[in-house]
Structure 1
């Protein structure tokens, strides 16, 4: 109703009173909002852009959010090693115009609207772009509050972040020696692999190569040699390295679900800390059958993008560790909600943290690890010296624990001049095909 209609309906005096009340209420609302936000001066987003660099050969993606305060910016991880250019396009062409002019402090509101801004959502490209924006906003909020991000999440639940490292080799003796060296460096949790994922060196016969099927560069993997070799590996490491070390292993979704169940049952007597990713996302219906067959702890989630993939596994208590790649699910805002859900179903965190996570992403993982009660374990990647030069303030690992630097935000910066010296490799970065002996593609 406009002013004229109001006057005709109520009469001039009553209408004037109503307008005064309406104006007073509007002014009071604005005043209350101003009081609620006066602790931090207004700050707007002026630019959102992707920065790609590969100082150690791995394609790293970071989002930089610039603000109306000169020199104040936030950084977030948007690393999708296999499709970095598509993520950069999503950031520069779509998220940048969407986010410009918006308030940097309203992270949840911005996340929700950015999430639905493409209408269709979830998927590695859009989620990585969204994570870059989201983490950059958390980094900014920490800098504005002059606090590390973990303080904004409730403070520390532990003094440092317990980590696991990777040990492997092509033969049992080599794996044993690698594990012993890691134990000497202070690691209490060690993931063991026999060769590459699926132990391709144990699969001798590749009939598809003789038939001229596929490309010579494709890998070969047979199920039975891998299963047998993995059991032998656990037996050998337990016998030679003792019971004091926690052992982990990644199936990497490489074998049929029923074979993964069979392998977990055989490994039970070696007391693994967890077995990772036994099934592909398309086969998560097998988790009920797995739970009925074995008590081996299970970690799952590296390939997850959508809440539909993890919510049921948590609430039905079908996994023990949620192991998503935080940039692939949309950022810190999503991961902290995931952790909060997991707390009430005794599901712990084990965020994916390999080399193809930027130092900003590793720091974000660590801040969340410090703040959540149901933290489990954190994958620790070795950050090369050249990468540390490009990203000052990287987390450090000492005696199996990861430490952050306690600076405001995530504590990691980016030297753009140095980053520009390390462009992405020419190779497009796709995942190399793996085949069964008859040439059938193995789906991770």
Structure 2
């Protein structure tokens, strides 16, 4: 059995997605997600100009060997472009192997560890009252866990306040739009938000919050301590994690659980965080962390230290990645939670899938492979549109973290 052809499909049914389709000489094909929000065409070039020519003639059953070939063989390792491209190949190969075996990917990995995958949705509002109402909406939909983000008085276009109730796309312009940030106003406001949510709905549901890398370690510690009465499921991305030791300072001052890693690409980005037990959840995901093959290694390391998974699952990951993630989540022993932002109806039509949502849980389905396909004719009706994520500056004009 050999890889006969491979091609990249770029489509924009409301936002840009990059999909790799690998076809074998036996007529079996697999698809993988290669989307890198705001830098999609970089991965397209990496795949078309450097990866695909190497794949032709290879045995698609040798998933591990091909992963090592693309990682070690390239010499220039790691980084979001490289690892997203490797992930696309890896996911497509797991899809092929599942179809060959007539088995869903979770069975290839060792079988299910749970019946359903708990997910969380995004409740957003321009102010506290609107966010509280949004939380209630997600509760009514059956969610057990909800991430809450609110506009902050005095800050225009605060992160996480989208333009839709169930889905939204932060990549909003052909060139980066500008937002303004003030951490003090944010730190003063957010504890009030969660106090109001708990006063309104009690403690039956899990609540999460995303700091989006905007605090220093001591600021993050202050927020974590202030939020302890709300008993958060986690505080996400409290501070930039390039310096993994920064989380030591946060850990010293708060017992609020910490999650990080949606922008991590390899196990090396989180090795110290995991080994020193500085986090409670690792948020690396299939498409940006080298595929199922590499994400499995990250999860295995985390399991040694009783750290759980909590993979990124925003709309910048296509249904292909969501399908693969749900198979991974169904298997991985140290599962914690899965982010789930719903895609637009147009996206769901382009990517018909086998997974489903019921009463706070996602189910991967039992189709062979990862259970997601792409309608190429329909995809062609949505051409690529340049779209960047915003940037942020402080009120004095200093460049900051968006």
Normalising by structure 2, report the TM-score.
0.93
Q: Deviations over 1:114-149 (max 9, x none)?
A: 112321111111111110000000000000000000
Higher relative contact order (CA 8 A, sep 6+): 2
* Larger proportion of helix: 1
Q: Does 1:220 align with 2:180?
A: yes
Q: Deviations over 1:135-179 (max 9, x none)?
A: 000000000000000000111111111100010111211111111
1:395 positional shift? 2.1
Is residue 360–residue 394 contact of structure 1 (8 Å, CA) maintained in 2? no
1:380 positional shift? 0.8
Alignment of 1:304-315 (within 5 A): 304-315=264-275
- 1:79 aligns with 35
Q: 1:363 aligns with which of 320, 323, 347?
A: 323
- 1:302 aligns with 262
- 1:192 aligns with 148
- 1:143 aligns with 99
Q: Distance between the aligned counterparts of 2:105 and 2:230, measured in 1?
A: 38
Q: Distance between the aligned counterparts of 1:316 and 1:141, measured in 2?
A: 36
Q: 1:68 aligns with which of 18, 25, 29?
A: 25
Instruction: Please state whether the residue corresponding to 2:22 is helix, strand or coil.
Output: strand
Q: Does 1:124 align with 2:80?
A: yes
Mark the CA change 1:216 to 1:121 in structure 2 (over 3 Å): closer, same or farther: closer
- 1:31 aligns with none
Q: Deviations over 1:38-94 (max 9, x none)?
A: xxxxx1111222111111x21111111111113x10111111121111111111111
Q: Distance between the aligned counterparts of 1:216 and 1:182, measured in 2?
A: 31
Q: 1:388 aligns with which of 337, 340, 348?
A: 348
- 2:111 aligns with 155
Q: Does 1:164 align with 2:124?
A: no
Q: Distance between the aligned counterparts of 2:299 and 2:48, measured in 1?
A: 30
Is residue 351–residue 372 contact of structure 2 (8 Å, CA) maintained in 1? yes
- 2:399 aligns with 441
Alignment of 1:276-355 (within 5 A): 276-355=236-315
Structure 2 residue ranges without an equivalent (≥5)? 160-174
Structure 1 residue ranges without an equivalent (≥5)? 1-42, 204-214
Q: Distance between the aligned counterparts of 1:396 and 1:424, measured in 2?
A: 27
Q: Deviations over 1:4-44 (max 9, x none)?
A: xxxxxxxxxxxxxxxxxxxxxxxxxxxxxxxxxxxxxxx11
- 1:16 aligns with none
Q: Deviations over 1:260-310 (max 9, x none)?
A: 111111111210000001111323221111111111100010121232221
Mark the CA change 1:202 to 1:126 in structure 2 (over 3 Å): closer, same or farther: closer
Q: Does 1:58 align with 2:15?
A: yes
Q: Distance between the aligned counterparts of 1:133 and 1:362, measured in 2?
A: 16
Q: Deviations over 1:371-392 (max 9, x none)?
A: 0111000011112221121111
Structure having the higher Rg: 1
Instruction: Please state whether the residue corresponding to 1:280 is helix, strand or coil.
Output: coil
Q: Distance between the aligned counterparts of 2:150 and 2:340, measured in 1?
A: 19
Q: Distance between the aligned counterparts of 2:177 and 2:355, measured in 1?
A: 36
Is residue 128–residue 151 contact of structure 2 (8 Å, CA) maintained in 1? no
Normalising by structure 1, report the TM-score.
0.84
Q: Distance between the aligned counterparts of 2:212 and 2:278, measured in 1?
A: 18
Instruction: Please state whether the residue corresponding to 1:238 is helix, strand or coil.
Output: helix
1:245 positional shift? 1.1
Q: CA RMSD in A?
A: 1.8
Displaced runs of 4 or more, over 6 A: none
Is residue 127–residue 305 contact of structure 1 (8 Å, CA) maintained in 2? yes
Mark the CA change 1:200 to 1:256 in structure 2 (over 3 Å): closer, same or farther: farther
Is residue 142–residue 408 contact of structure 1 (8 Å, CA) maintained in 2? yes
Q: Distance between the aligned counterparts of 2:70 and 2:23, measured in 1?
A: 17
Q: Distance between the aligned counterparts of 2:50 and 2:176, measured in 1?
A: 39
Q: Distance between the aligned counterparts of 2:326 and 2:48, measured in 1?
A: 27
1:353 positional shift? 0.3
